[in-house]
Amino acid sequence: MRLNLTFDFRTNMRLLVPFKIRGQRFAAWMSALLTPLHTVNADFSAVASDIRYKADFTGQVMYLEHYLNDVYDSAQRRIYIDDPAETQIERKVVFNKNDSENTLIVGNKSEGANTYLSNQDASVTSVDFIIHAPSTVFVDADELEWRAHIDQYRIAGKTYTFETF
């Protein structure tokens, strides 16, 4: 449920002022006095509406895509977020040096599953998601501005990069 933050000062002035003093001259004088209040109220309403709009978004991929498309590519909506290819993620394997082959310490060989542990160094070189944007849209805007919009909703610790097409 949305609250209506606009307040009509002129209508309330007509309802609250006694009928005997409600003339054209008085109405013009009150209108002149109420003009700054209308301006402040309109600015407040616009800021509140913007804050409510931004509060509707989260760090989920579909919401972040929607927000980026609203900001940068509202007509064609070509910006999308994708996971990196598996070849881009650098994984470190923990093994026992005494064995002649790379035996995993973590995991059970009978299960046939390879268990990998990501190293701290690997998280610096790999990214968690890729933002694909058209080159015309990405060139027009500053990358720092893009990062500011994304970091507002990004989950802490998640890294990303940009790719243009």
In the prediction, which pLDDT does 141 show? 66
Nearest CA to 53 out of 79, 78, 75, 71 is that of: 71
Which residue's entry shows tokens 């093994």? Answer: 95
Q: Which residues in the chain belong to E strands, given as ranges? A: 80-82, 129-133, 160-164
How far, in Å, CA of 125 to CA of 90, rounded? 7
What average pLDDT does the segment 112-117 reach? 53
Question: What confidence tier does 140 reach under pLDDT thresholds 50, 70, 90?
Answer: low
In the prediction, which pLDDT does 47 show? 92
The mean predicted confidence, pLDDT, of the chain is 77
- Write out pLDDT tens, residues 24-78: 888 888 889 989 988 998 899 899 889 998 998 888 889 999 999 999 888 899 8
Q: Model pTM?
A: 0.59
Query: 160: which 2 tokens?
Result: 């990303």
Comparison of pLDDT for 9 and 160, the residue scoring more: 160
